Amino acid sequence: MSKDLQKLHNESLVHIATALDLAQLEAVELSLFSRQNGRLTMLMKEIATVLPAEKKAYGESCNTVKEELIGSIAKRREELTNVRWKTIANDERIDPSAPLGTSSSSMTRAQKKNYGSLHPISRVQYDLEDLFTSMGFMVLDGPELESDYYNFEALNIPADHPARDMHDTFYLKNNPSWVMRTHTSPVQVRAMEKYGAPLRAIVPGRCFRNEATDPRHEHTLYQLEGLVIDRGINFAHLKGIIATVAKHLYGGETKVRFLPKFYPFVEPGVRGEVTCFLCHGTGCRVCKNTGWLEIFGAGMMHPNVLRAGKIDPEKYSGLAFGLGLSRLVMLKYAIPDARYALGGDLRFLNQF
Ligand code: FA5
């Protein structure tokens, strides 16, 4: 089974099992099977790009996953329906005002069911996956233990770039040509190699950096990479995508600003900032008194990177962006310290 399919399978089972009511379950069902942009529908359509020898196995795995998900949805629907309309035996009365999941025979002792909940990073990730798939993007995955080639070299990062310093990055002790990926950008080249052009994809995932941690920096962070490659792609497309994300997550009032920033794999390159959620622009410890919080790096893909992905820069141009998913979550839920997210403290997690 392909990695994308496996990922979809695992995530969907969680979504189905944690749907709290029929409306939520229907939303999950739609996000998977919608004819236009359902995640499974899109993966099934990819059969057109699979090698002839692999088509049969690919089709079979898709169908197996589809059947399993349909079965799980039916089972969950039954559970949720039963909870709501529990059949009452004999002379027992129905109390329609009793909380869901309470036993009809003990109407006076309402018990709250403890379902658990999704982590805030997962919530924002799934929400953005839905937004991007609605705009025709594929959702891709990539390895967390990455080769030096994809993490740096293919991205036009020369051997003497500071990011390659042993002190900046987690290398494998006995094999320095492998590294815990420092960003999700390596999947840019992997995606180009696999799918060619035109291409529209996002890559949410975990990255690792040898950071002195502080309220904005974690050693383990989540990013969401995005790339669009086609004829005539330009910076206006990039601005449009970022504005759509900011509006979707934070509402129409949010201000985004672009500032020049050097990344070897884009030209021109920018960093993007939004107004700080804590001080609303007046300056505080989270935004280092600037009033702004950096949430992404982006730019037009460098011709060398397109070439590394076997795409002709004379024919195609591309944009790429790397959103700091952990930072987006901080902003969305006004979390004043990035370290809470992975700290495992239930007092924090129980709020979601
Ligand atoms: C990159 O990682 C580039 N790969 C982004 C990119 C992609 C640029 C495509 C151009 C084209 P940077 O190191 O600036 O860039 O990180 C991107 C975002 O990740 C930052 O804006 C920030 O929001 C987030 N981020 C970076 N380091 C950390 C950290 N230690 N903890 C939490 N978030 C971080």
Could you tell me the CA-to-CA distances from 290 to 211, 275, 293, 310 in Å, in that order?
Answer: 21, 9, 8, 41
* Residues 12 and 46 both lie in one domain: yes
C-beta 211 within 6 A of ligand 1: yes
Last residue of a domain, one of 109, 131, 159: 109
Query: Which residue ranges of the chain lie beneath pLDDT 70?
Result: 83-113, 166-167
Give me the half-sphere count of Cα atoms (radius 13 Å) on the Cβ side of residue 299: 20
pLDDT at 98: 66
* Residue pLDDT, tens place only, 101-153: 555 454 445 566 677 889 999 999 999 999 999 999 999 999 999 999 999 99
Does residue 137 share a domain with residue 59?
Answer: no
Q: Which of 109, 129, 157 is the last residue of a domain?
A: 109
- Give the model's pLDDT for residue 253: 76
Q: Does 158 share its domain with 250?
A: yes
CA of residue 297 to ligand 1 center, whole Å? 6
Binding site for Mg(2+), by residue number, is: 267
Are 15 and 91 found together in one domain? Answer: yes
Asked which of 109, 128, 155 is the last residue of a domain, the reply is: 109
Would you say residue 115 lies in a domain?
Answer: no
Considering the domain architecture, whether residues 61 and 188 belong to the same structural domain is answered as no
Cα separation, 258 vs 38, in Å, equals 33
Do both 181 and 313 map to the same domain? yes
CB of 31 shorter than 6 A to ligand 1: no
For the chain, how many structural domains are there in total? 2
Note whether 124 and 92 are same-domain residues.
Answer: no
The answer to whether residues 124 and 98 belong to one domain is: no
Any domain includes 300? yes
Distance (Å) from CA 8 to ligand 1 centroid: 25
- Rounded to whole angstroms, the Cα distance separating 186 from 151 reads 5
Residue 222 placed within a domain:
yes
Question: pTM of the entire structure?
Answer: 0.70
35 lies in the same domain as 73: yes
Instruction: Give the Cα separation of 203 and 191 in Å (integer).
Output: 10
- Are 50 and 84 in a shared domain? yes
Q: What is the CATH number of the domain that holds 226?
A: 3.30.930.10
* CA of 66 relative to ligand 1 center, distance in Å: 35
- In a domain? residue 114: no
- Predicted confidence (pLDDT) per residue in 262-271, tens digit: 999 999 999 9
- Whose tokens are 């086609």? That residue is 230
Binding positions are 267
pLDDT of residue 216: 84
Query: Domain of 90?
Result: 3-109
- Taking CA atoms only, the protein residue closest to ligand 1 atom 28 is 217
Same domain flag for 292 and 328:
yes
Q: Under a CB-based contact definition with an 8 Å cutoff, are residues 192 and 229 in contact?
A: yes
329 and 189 share a domain?
A: yes
